[in-house]
Every structure is written in C-alpha cells, then in structure tokens.
Amino acid sequence: MANASRGKVMQAYKNLLYLGKNYPKGYDYFRDKLRMAFDKNKGVTDPQQIQELLGKCDNIARELETLYMMRQYRVVNKRFREDPRKQRSSM
C-alpha cells in the first residue's frame, strides 16, 4: 500500500509542477511553494490522511486549470470585443 501511495503522490507532484509552468507569479515561485507544501506533509503515513491530501492536490489542479481558462477567455474576449466608440460613431 505504501508504494502505491508513493506513486500517486509523485504523480500528483509532477502534475502540479506541470500546471505551475504558467502561474501568474512565475514558475519559480510556484515550485518553491509546492515543494514547501509537500515537504511539510512528507511524514504522513496514514493512508486515509494521504488520500485527503491527494484530494486537495486534485482541487488545486482544477483551480489552476480554471485560472488558465479564465485568463484565456479574457484575452480572447478583449481581442474580439467591439470598441464601444465605433458603435456610437456609426449611429
């Protein structure tokens, strides 16, 4: 069981590192915070608590994906939004 949990934790760490590449404050900032969070919980051996922490990792990953989608939406919206001044001048 410990080896299976270790693999899941490593996969979660790698996934979050990958998602942190486009973090607004920079990759180095994100990597340092992620490393501190994982180091803080490295002594956890209870399987139930490990599953709870992995659930938190999944939530953080979803939040990061949402953050990136919102940023992309704002860029696209800004590019293709009509200029309100153009609408007034054509009237």
43-57 tens-digit pLDDT = 999 999 999 999 999
Take residue 70 and report the two structure tokens written for it.
């919102």
pTM of this structure: 0.74
In whole angstroms, what is the distance from residue 75 CA to residue 69 CA?
Answer: 10
The model's pLDDT over 27-40, given as tens digits with 9 standing for 90+, comes to 999 999 999 999 99
Q: Is 60 helix (H, G, I), strand (E, B) or coil?
A: helix
Determine what percent of the chain is predicted with pLDDT higher than 90: 60
**How is residue 45 annotated by DSSP?**
-
DSSP letter at 42? T
Q: Which residue has the higher pLDDT, 74 or 7?
A: 7
Q: Are 50 and 9 in contact (CB under 8 A)?
A: yes
pLDDT score of 36: 96
Asked whether residue 89 carries a pLDDT value surpassing 60, the answer given is: no
R_g of the chain, CA atoms, integer Å? 20
